[in-house]
Amino acid sequence: MSTSLATLIAVDAEDRLSAANTFASSVTDVVQARKDGLFAEITAVLKDSSKQKANARASALAGLRAVFAASPTASAPYLTTMLPLFIEAAADKAKHVAVEAEGLAKELVGGVAADAVGAVMPAVLAEGEGKWQANLLRADLLSILADKYKPQVNLALNDIVPVLSALMWDTKPKVKEAAVKAMADCCGVMDNRDIKDFVPSIIECIQKPQLVAETVHKLAGVVFVSEVFASALAVMAPLLKRGFDEPTTSIKRNCARITENMAKLVDDPYEVEPFVPVLLPALAKAKEEVADPECRTVCQAAYDQLKRTASQPPVWKRIEVAAVRDIVSKLTGEAPAELLDYAAAMTHSKLALKNLNAADWKATLTPVLALSLSSDKVEAAVPAILEECAQHVKVEEAKEEADDAEQLCDCQFSLAYGNKVLLNQTVLKLKRGYRYGLCGKNDSGKTSLMRAIANQQVEGFPPPTELRTMFVETDVQGDVSEMSVIDYVVHHEGLKAYGITYDMAKEKLLSVGFALDDSDMAPASLTKQVGRLSGGWRMKLALVRAMLMKADILLLDEPTNHLDPGNVKWVIDYLTSLQSVTSIIVSHDIKVLDQVCTHVLQIDNLKLKQFKGNLTHVAQTYVPELMSYFQLKATKFTMRFPQPGPLEGVSSKGKHIMKMTNITFTYPGAPKAQLTGVTVRVSLSTRAACIGANGAGKSTMIKLLTGELQPDKGSGDVWKHPNCRVAYVAQHAFHHIEHHLEKTPNEYIRWRYEHGSDKEGLEKVTAKLTEEDEKRMKTPMQIEYKTEDGQLRSLKCVFKKFTEGRRTANKSKEYEYEVRWQGASDFTTWVPKSKLEAHGFSKLLKHVDDKIAALATQLQRPLTQKFVENHLNDVGLAPEFATHTRMGALSGGQKVKVVLAASMWNTPHIVILDEPTNYLDRDSLGAMAEAINAYDGGIVIISHNAQFVDQVCPEVWHLENHTLNLKGSYDWLESANKEAVKQAKEADEYVDGLGNTVKIVKKKKASKAELKKIKKAIAEKRKAGIEVYTDEELEAHGFDTAV
């Protein structure tokens, strides 16, 4: 034993401090002292636990404490290897030994270099002999580390949390209290903003498991957007594991959803690797054993995501400490083992922090390596260590395209919408003049990304002062829909900063085809109300705003939606002519992307990937699956429409149940009629596509058919079977739900039909009562009824309400409605429909008919959460979005499905879809096409998507020159022409659907005897099971069909 050490351990307690300082001053060269065996001798002293040697142990600890205070850098590599001894000494029965050990351990742990935390952490986390004094010190040491070395402790949370969780259940109150504090301190270094505020609640759950359910519910509402590292998973894993052990299904479901969302945000697989053995078995069990099938589906999705994340390629390779030590040893030559271990721990810390900065490495490693190496060797060794280590961890990046184009942005960011992660730590690079086609599966975040760019929500994207960015959208809010086109442009909120004048706006509007005024009945003019523009002209209007803004970047979401082929070409030509403007385009039209795009941006696995070339080139060269986004096939899911059931009095699918005859319609203030002489017929077998140029009046005609608009007075009739239920999805469909965005789709449908009838249906113009209608209804009506003794009475009564009773009269076969009259609460009578209509009750009768039709579906379709959820799932909206997500957080495609599902809840007989293909991807369109083919009701579609229309509609209604021409299959045209003959029976000739002039042959009326003979033949055929119609049999015998 050295003389200095012998002197130190022999002193009394009162001389210990001065002796320790004397001992420290004698250790002038720590490395040499190690070679001389000084630290081995002290270790032997500390391991002698006899009572007689207690003073020696205390003095040795005091001496080491003085050495560390005098030479922290030189002594730390050697003292860190002795830390387990110091921690165990804190439980020494001799109090003065324990005090010295505790003081030395705290000073050592709090005084090492930041990157040396990895050298002391194993000793702090080791359980040792498990004495409570040692455990208390371990908890205190972790608090010290968390306070001083946050980034390094953040990396070690995966190992720290289980240790502290166990100490929080220690039987000693002091240990328990220190462990709770240490857990809060250590978890506090975790830098995940999404869950940081929940850390106190998560810690409390470790102490009070009964709080797990409530904490999981709170975390289920968190929007996870920050990149997730092992530290965040370390904090969450105990809670999630306990959540999966809970018996409640909703808790398991929420845990699965949290696991899935967090796993999506992990970039490197090794970050999630330690949690796979903990959470994957819990998910595997839940996805097989939970009773609720929807919960099992959520657990399956989380299970798949966790496995996918664990097996994805890394963006930063992991290297073990042992491998780093080998590199350091190889490049430094001879050095003490303790020094190599210490240098390796510091080097590994730099790599774990992804810090490859040469200056930082030099500052960290030089003082340590200089303890045993010459300055020349150190200067050469540090860069060599950095270079070799970097080769082990860096992943080679793809080479960028070299050109002279100006770079507009280069930013890294994450993006979430509602509670769904869309992009995680992805890079966006844009250059001037390039046109990027943005592709991805439905709900992958294409529109959300463009909105985030436009709203300055993308981190690192240049501000508007540097880069003018405009989101070109066609939606017109209700408060400006009555403004004229010119006023709308001049006073647009987004253009106020650019000083746009009337002349400037007028010049641009005229240049893209807007007329000066409505004198020539142009489809769009400067004076026309914005709300009355068709979708195609709204897109042109949006592009005019972009022209006036002189935007650097145009963000276009489905720019060719609603457009006829001529206007599609105009948009393509316009975009390709912009040499200094960058465009990002979302479109489901392959031809548009092929002709416009110079590059493709693909959203895949929460990342943006960029490729040079148009869509077809990129698909053929780089991403073969890209074309699957555009194929009209239901590969991802199926869609089912609810079958309508039978209609009273309708035994054939070919019988008309809606019709519009010789209708004319003129918008208020317009000099000419928008539509003239329009006649259509709709049956359960109808599959009609309504086509025409933008502004031709397609949507107007459909609104007339459904009752949302009223035809000109004196023009023809609009009729619907009283029991016929109609679903109408408008072109600008979101107006149905824009006031209910705080509801989930499930809640919205249950609200909309809570009283039986469709609340949205009450908004129709043809259903709203005017003052004149109300006045006529209050006028006393002469009624006749029979008293209880059979006497016929007549009196005048004032209407009170309909009871919603309806029956068919025995003789006339006319509908009769039960009316309650004012004056006596029990006084009701049955009144014929014709009499009620004559007294102004037509609109109210439609309400009664609609309610009776709606009530017919309620027994088969109860308005419960589960039943509505299944209905939404049938149209392609998964339960996660149908029941657990508010509509404000849904994508455009999802909102279309909500509107479609809501319109079809009452099992309609006729479905009218105005531009249903907008916002829907190819999977959804393919599923819709299959649903239409399997549907037993009638379908009318307005669409410019030729591929979709050709697949589902053999009949075509072509609107041009303000009137309707019928085209389509031979059978359908024959039926349509026969109907036209009926309407023009008084005329000598008429023009058929193909524009041919047809001479009318007048037919004689059948006599009673002839009619009786024909009816007898019909009865025999029907008895034989042959389906026949009276009018067809009359026509076949050469008689007039009007009987």
Strand extents, DSSP E, 591-721: 599-604, 607-612, 656-665, 675-683, 687-692, 717-720
DSSP label of 887: G
For the whole model, what pTM was predicted? Answer: 0.57
When mean pLDDT is compared across 148-152, 966-970, 1016-1020, the lowest value belongs to: 966-970
**With contact defined as beta carbons under 8 Å apart, do 908 and 726 qualify?**
yes
Using CA atoms, how far apart are residues 468 and 795, in angstroms rounded to an integer?
75
pLDDT, mean over the chain: 83
Q: Which residue has the higher pLDDT, 880 or 1041?
A: 880
| Structure confidence at residue 482 (pLDDT) | 73
Give mean pLDDT, residues 82-98. Answer: 92
With 0-12 / 13-18 / 19 or more C-beta atoms within 10 angstroms meaning exposed / middle / buried, residue 223 is: middle
Per residue in 512-539, pLDDT tens?
888 888 776 677 888 888 877 776 787 7
pLDDT band at 996 (very low <50, low <70, confident <90, very high): very low
Q: Is the pLDDT assigned to residue 797 strictly greater than 70?
A: yes
Using CA atoms, how far apart are residues 679 and 718, in angstroms rounded to an integer?
9
Give mean pLDDT, residues 394-403. Answer: 60
DSSP run (H or E) holding 570: helix 565-577
Q: Is the pLDDT assigned to residue 636 strictly greater than 70?
A: no
Strands 553-557 and 469-472: parallel
| Structure confidence at residue 400 (pLDDT) | 56
Using CA atoms, how far apart are residues 1029 and 681, in angstroms rounded to an integer?
18
pLDDT band at 587 (very low <50, low <70, confident <90, very high): confident
Using CA atoms, how far apart are residues 924 and 893, in angstroms rounded to an integer?
9
Q: Is the pLDDT assigned to residue 29 strictly greater than 80?
A: yes
pLDDT band at 904 (very low <50, low <70, confident <90, very high): confident
In this structure, is the dihedral angle defined by the CA atoms of residues 34, 37, 40 and 42, taken in order, positive or negative?
negative
CA distances from 431 to 162, 584, 916 (A): 49, 11, 34
DSSP run (H or E) holding 912: strand 910-914
DSSP run (H or E) holding 792: strand 792-797
- 959: helix, strand or coil: strand
Neighbours of 112 (CB within 10 A): 27
Per residue in 918-947, pLDDT tens?
667 667 777 888 888 889 899 999 887 766
Using CA atoms, how far apart are residues 1008 and 1013, in angstroms rounded to an integer?
9
Taking each helix axis as running N to C, give the angle between helix 72-79 and helix 358-369, from 0 to 180 degrees, rounded to the nearest 10.
80
- In sequence order, the β-bridge partners of residue 727 are 911
Comparing CA positions, the residue from 902, 930, 933, 929 lying closest to residue 916 is 929
Give mean pLDDT, residues 738-744. Answer: 85
Using CA atoms, how far apart are residues 853 and 826, in angstroms rounded to an integer?
25
Comparing CA positions, the residue from 198, 182, 111, 173 lying closest to residue 148 is 111
Per residue in 470-516, pLDDT tens?
888 765 554 566 788 888 888 877 777 777 888 888 888 888 888 88
Q: Which residues touch 1040 (CB under 8 Å, ≥6 apart)? A: 985, 1003, 1004, 1005, 1006, 1034
When mean pLDDT is compared across 515-529, 633-647, 1028-1042, the lowest value belongs to: 1028-1042
Q: Which residue has the higher pLDDT, 195 or 78?
A: 78
Phi, psi of 684 (to 5 degrees): -65, -20
Per residue in 674-728, pLDDT tens?
888 888 899 998 999 888 877 778 888 888 888 878 898 878 888 888 888 888 8
Q: Which percentage of the chain shows pLDDT scores above 70?
A: 89
pLDDT band at 991 (very low <50, low <70, confident <90, very high): very low
Comparing CA positions, the residue from 131, 118, 107 lying closest to residue 159 is 118
Comparing CA positions, the residue from 126, 34, 134 lying closest to residue 79 is 34
Residue with tokens 């985030």: 452
Q: Is the pLDDT assigned to residue 106 strictly greater than 90?
A: yes
Q: What are 1009-1015's contacts with CB under 8 Å, separation 24+?
A: 1010/1037, 1010/1039, 1011/1043, 1014/1039
Length in residues, the chain: 1043
In the numeric block, which tokens belong to residue 258?
A: 């949290």
In the numeric block, which tokens belong to residue 989?
A: 């000739």
Q: Is the pLDDT assigned to residue 637 strictly greater than 80?
A: no
When mean pLDDT is compared across 417-421, 641-645, 800-804, 826-830, the lowest value belongs to: 417-421
| Structure confidence at residue 634 (pLDDT) | 44
When mean pLDDT is compared across 23-27, 56-60, 592-596, 923-927, the lowest value belongs to: 923-927
